[in-house]
Amino acid sequence: AQSVTQPDIHITVSEGASLELRCNYSYGATPYLFWYVQSPGQGLQLLLKYFSGDTLVQGIKGFEAEFKRSQSSFNLRKPSVHWSDAAEYFCAVGAVYNKLIFGAGTRLAVHP
Amino acid sequence: DGGITQSPKYLFRKEGQNVTLSCEQNLNHDAMYWYRQDPGQGLRLIYYSQIVNDFQKGDIAEGYSVSREKKESFPLTVTSAQKNPTAFYLCASRRDSGRQETQYFGPGTRLLVL
């Protein structure tokens, strides 16, 4: 079955610390992978996406993600977190019939 | 300024009432989507439309209906058959039906039951 798992429901980091949000997917064909960010009460904004080629992709706001086929993972990273990064982060895989399958999300809190 | 607009921002539904959520896009996108978001469950697909006058059920279509009479508009009706409608509803669009195409999201409508 096609699915996306984000193992961490909540993560808290200190401002300036590094961040890694985990995402594992289950999909039979070549996965098209996305990370979105959502501020409270708002829509989703695309951070980055992976379709093919270089397995390390750069996104907006200083985020990057690495696709590891052997681990079925697409983890999101940022070397130094800012207070404005506090939000909910969603990993998604593009599936057949043009659907996006989302993980349950990881809520990030940033301590000053 | 191109984008996706959803209205209203907040919507209140009385028992037994049908309500309609608006979604409009001026991006000239072919495909449009409706998702429901509940805390801790991510987003779940309600309906989607790849072209005008055509739409398909998603994973949780029961109690909902849609229409796609114009390319730029994809309204969602929450019917009285939807017994637990309280949620955050997100509309999205994408340029075409390719799997690699990015979906862009509107700001959402929060539906509450009185």
pLDDT digits (tens, 9 = 90+) for B56-112: 999 999 999 999 999 999 999 999 989 899 999 999 999 886 667 889 999 999 999
Nearest CA in chain A to B4: A43
- Asked whether the CA dihedral A100, B48, A106, A87 is positive or negative, the reply is positive
User: In the Cβ-directed half-sphere of A103, how many Cα atoms lie within 13 Å?
Assistant: 29
Least confident interval from A16-30, A57-71, A76-90, B65-79: A16-30
Specify the pLDDT at position A2. Answer: 83
Question: Tell me: the pLDDT tens digits for A42-55?
Answer: 899 999 999 888 89
Q: Which residues contact B39 (CB under 8 A, 6 or more apart)?
A: none
Specify the pLDDT at position A41. Answer: 87
Task: Tell me whether residues B94 and A98 touch, CB distance under 8 A.
Answer: yes
Residues of B in contact with A57 (CB under 8 A): none
Distance CA B19, CA A75 (A): 39
From the candidates A27, A98, A99, A107, which should be mutated to test the interface with B, based on the most B CB atoms within 10 A?
A: A98
Residues of A in contact with B102 (CB under 8 A): 34, 46, 49
Token pair in block for residue B103: 């979906």
Task: Tell me whether residues A99 and B45 touch, CB distance under 8 A.
Answer: yes
Mean pLDDT of A70-87: 96
Least confident interval from A17-31, A67-81, B17-31: A17-31
From the candidates B99, B100, B109, which should be mutated to test the interface with A, based on the most A CB atoms within 10 A?
A: B99
Specify the pLDDT at position B31. Answer: 92
A112 upstream amide cis, omega within 30 of 0: no
Question: Tell me: the pLDDT tens digits for B37-64?
Answer: 998 788 999 999 999 999 999 999 999 9
Q: Which residues contact B44 (CB under 8 A, 6 or more apart)?
A: A102, B35, B36, B37, B38, B58, B59, B60
Query: Has residue A88 got a pLDDT over 70?
Result: yes
Specify the pLDDT at position B58. Answer: 93
Specify the pLDDT at position A36. Answer: 97
E strand spans, chain A: 3-5, 10-14, 19-21, 24-26, 32-38, 44-50, 56-58, 64-68, 73-78, 87-94, 100-102, 106-111
Specify the pLDDT at position A97. Answer: 64
Query: Has residue A37 got a pLDDT over 70?
Result: yes
Task: Tell me whether residues B104 and A46 touch, CB distance under 8 A.
Answer: yes
Torsions phi, psi for A71 (to 5 deg): -105, 0
Q: Is B108 on the interface with A (CB under 8 A)?
A: yes
Q: Is B36 on the interface with A (CB under 8 A)?
A: no
